[in-house]
Amino acid sequence: MYSEKVMDHFMNPRNVGEIENADGVGQVGNPKCGDIMKMYLKIENDVIVDVKFKTFGCGSAIASSSMATELIKGKTIHEAMKLTNKAVAEALDGLPPVKMHCSVLAEQAIKAALYDYAKKNNITIEGLENFNPDEDVHHHEDEGMN
Amino acid sequence: MVRQVYLDNAATTPVKKEVLDAMMPYFTEKFGNPSSIYRLGQETRAAIDEAREKVAKAINASPREIFFTGGGSESDNWAIKGIAFANRNKGDHIITTKIEHHAVLHTCKYLEKNGFKVTYLDVDEYGTVDIDQLKKSITDKTILISIMFANNEIGTIQPIKEIGNIARENNVYFHTDAVQAVGNIKIDVKDLNIDLLSMSAHKLYGPKGIGALYIRQGVKIDSYIHGGAQEKNRRAGTENIPGIVGFGKAIELAYENIDEHNSKLIKLRDKLIKGIYDNIDYVRLNGHPENRLPGNVNFSFEFIEGESLLLSLDMVGISASSGSACTSGSLDPSHVLLAIGLPHEIAHGSLRLTLGDFNTEEDVDYVIENLVKIVDRLRQMSPLYENVKKNIRG
């Protein structure tokens, strides 16, 4: 069902935990649907110097969070904004079609954390002008692409 | 090598050696078609008759009331559709519950599309059917009550005798899906006033692809599979002889050993339940505390999700199942867990462990030991648990 990479990131997730006094915190998902992701960012000079996550969810939700943190760590805000759910899924050697929403959730969690950072610092981040951190990703999941 | 602990006996069981041995000759030497008049055919005819007697004896029915089918789902489909269509002139109303297996629920949905009306009874927090609601739901148009003997997910056993009496008093047919009960509970269809009863061989150490429907003599029911004189013209198709022989052997063994089987499983079950309660916080036992199948354990673990629990258990060789949506590909968790009133997030964190004849005390110790570690690991990752810890500290 899952690739070896998914299982590796599920069993040995990278960057689990919290960051005290994080510069940006984002939480997406809904316990009713069985998944919640929370991302913590430490940002210095527009660079994500540290990132941690906590996830309530299935194996692919945990693996997607872990992979997403790996993909944005050390990157600029601008680069992190370019991370798509597809890139997360591809980096995991694919996700089953019904699990694609987990990668969407990971993308959204990063955006929600960046949105929080922008709000706290009174800045605007290109691409987040119309971001709604409370949007339910299950409505726009794309299950057919993998 | 990782130790293998199979704890999904409600999903299926391995075929016992004695059962397989009984089946083997019917694949190669004794392969005749039982509808043939020559000796090779009559030999297999006799084997079917013998198996039918064994199945009948197990539930105190008469052999002519036992009809072999392709399994539990077919038996459920036949019972419900067969009664509905044969008794349409009498009424169009069926009563069932919200916690039935999908073989019953989806069949009822199908009948609703075809003009029948279905009442889905509620259950209480333990999964026991509401008897008063059942009584009130019966109308002069009610033709069938279909209520499972014991639930496949949470193990709760229904008050079948009471339901049978109510059905009989109201002159309504009573069907019970006993797929999980047969082999685990002593069943007397006469004493319980059961008109139709579904069973399956692979839940009781028999082969897959074979089951039976008990149809009380005199019940008016349509045939389900048309096209041959097999099973007294009621279920066409050349008989699955090895399957039938295996089913007969398996059910015979099950009832020969039922007291021993039950006392062993109940001991293991209660040890597992106690072990989980004693070692893990924020857990909830789903299903009735006493009135449950001997091998069924079903817990919800707060703040974590069932699929990640199953994957982690699988990594240490433990096979189990969950009512989480993530294991089925749908967004909603188990209809049974929602029907007993669990909030979605708690239902997502459910785990079913079902014990069987091949499990040992060491298996239970191994599961508890690993479950403690796994639940802790997943909770450390969970943002929901984080909040709880903060509240405790605060």
Q: Is the pLDDT of residue B280 over 50?
A: yes
Tens digits of residue pLDDT in A112-125 = 999 999 999 999 99
Short-list B204, B172, B174, CA closest to B189: B174
Task: Report the mean per-residue pLDDT for chain B.
Answer: 96
Q: Note whether B307 and A59 are within 8 A (CB).
A: yes
Distances (CA, A) of B102 to B107, B125, B148, B151, B225: 8, 20, 11, 12, 20
Q: Is the pLDDT of residue B179 over 90?
A: yes
Contact B308 A10 (CB under 8 A): yes
Cβ pair B386:A32 closer than 8 A: no
Contacts of B379 in chain A (CB under 8 A): none
User: In the predicted model, what is the mean pLDDT of residues B111-126?
Assistant: 98
Number of CB atoms found within 10 A of residue B171's CB: 11
Predicted local confidence at residue B298, as pLDDT: 98
For B308, which of A31, A62, A138 is closest by C-beta distance? A62
Task: Taking each helix axis as running N to C, give the angle between helix A59-72 and helix A100-120, from 0 to 180 degrees, rounded to the nearest 10.
Answer: 50
For B208-245, write each residue's pLDDT tens digit. Answer: 999 999 999 999 999 999 998 899 999 999 999 999 99
Q: Give the mean model confidence (pLDDT) for residues B372-387.
A: 94
What pLDDT, on a 0 to 100 scale, did the predictor assign at position B383? 95
pLDDT tens digits for range A60-104: 999 999 999 999 999 999 999 999 999 999 999 999 998 999 999
CB atoms within 10 A of CB B366: 16
**CA neighbor of B40 nearest in space, from B52, B51, B53, B26:** B26
| Contact by Cβ (8 Å): B75, B69 | yes
Between CA B264 and CA B256 the distance in angstroms is 14
pLDDT of residue A138: 56
Indicate the helix (H) or strand (E) that contains B142.
strand B142-146
Task: Evaluate if residue A137 carries a pLDDT over 90.
Answer: no
Whole-number Cα distances in Å, B385 to A10, A78, B389: 18, 32, 6
Q: In what order do the strands lie in the sheet containing A35-44?
A: A24-30, A35-44, A47-56
Nearest CB partner across the interface for B325, out of A2, A34, A55: A34
Interface of A with B in 10-69 (CB under 8 A): 10-11, 13, 16, 18, 27, 31-38, 54-59, 61-62
Name the interface residues of B facing A (CB cutoff 8 Å). Answer: 303-308, 311-312, 315, 324-327, 329, 331, 333, 343-345, 348, 380-386
CA B67 to chain centroid: 18
Average pLDDT of span B138-144: 98
CB B177 within 8 A of CB B148: yes
pLDDT value of residue A144: 31
Indicate yes or no: CB of A56 within 8 angstroms of CB of B303: yes
Contacting residues of B for A27, CB less than 8 Å apart: 383
Taking an 8 Å cut-off on Cβ atoms, the answer to whether A11 and B315 are in contact is yes
Tokens 């984080």 -> residue = B386
More confident residue, B298 or A133: B298
B325–A61 C-beta distance less than 8 A = no
Candidates B303, B308, B315; nearest CB to A58: B308
Contact criterion met (CB below 8 Å) for A24 and A41: yes
pLDDT tens sequence across B87-110: 999 999 999 999 999 999 999 999
Distance (Å) from the alpha carbon of B111 to chain A's nearest alpha carbon: 30
- Of B326, B380, B383, nearest to A58 by CB-CB distance is B326
| pLDDT higher than 70, residue A140 | no
**Nearest alpha carbon to residue B295 among B265, B257, B321, B264:** B265
Parallel/antiparallel/unpaired status of strands A35-44 and A24-30: antiparallel
Distance in angstroms (rounded) separating the CA atoms of residues A63 and A143: 17
Q: Which residue has the tokens 């069924």?
A: B296
Residue B63, number of CB atoms within 10 A of its CB: 15
Cβ A58–B315 below 8 Å, yes or no?
A: no
Please indicate whether, in this complex, the C-beta atoms of B382 and A32 are within 8 angstroms of each other. no
CA–CA distance, B121 with B48 (Å, rounded to integer): 38
Higher pLDDT, A143 or A58: A58
CA distance A60 to chain B (A): 8
Q: Which residues of B79-112 are buried (b: 16+ CB within 10 A; e: fewer)?
A: bbbbbbebbeeebbbbbbbbbbbebbbebbeebe
Q: Is A123 on the interface with B (CB under 8 A)?
A: no
Alpha-carbon span A33 to B348, nearest angstrom: 8
Burial A39-77 (b: 16+ CB within 10 A, else e): bbbbbeeeebebbbbbbbbbbbbbbbbbbbbbbbbebeb
Q: Catalytic: which of A18, A30, A33, A34? A: A33
| Token pair recorded at residue B389 | 């810890």
Which residues of chain B make contact with A7, given a CB cutoff of 8 A? 311
User: Which pair of tokens denotes residue B195?
Assistant: 């008109």
Report the residue from B311, B348, B382 with minimal CB separation from A59: B311
Mark whether A33 is an active-site residue: yes
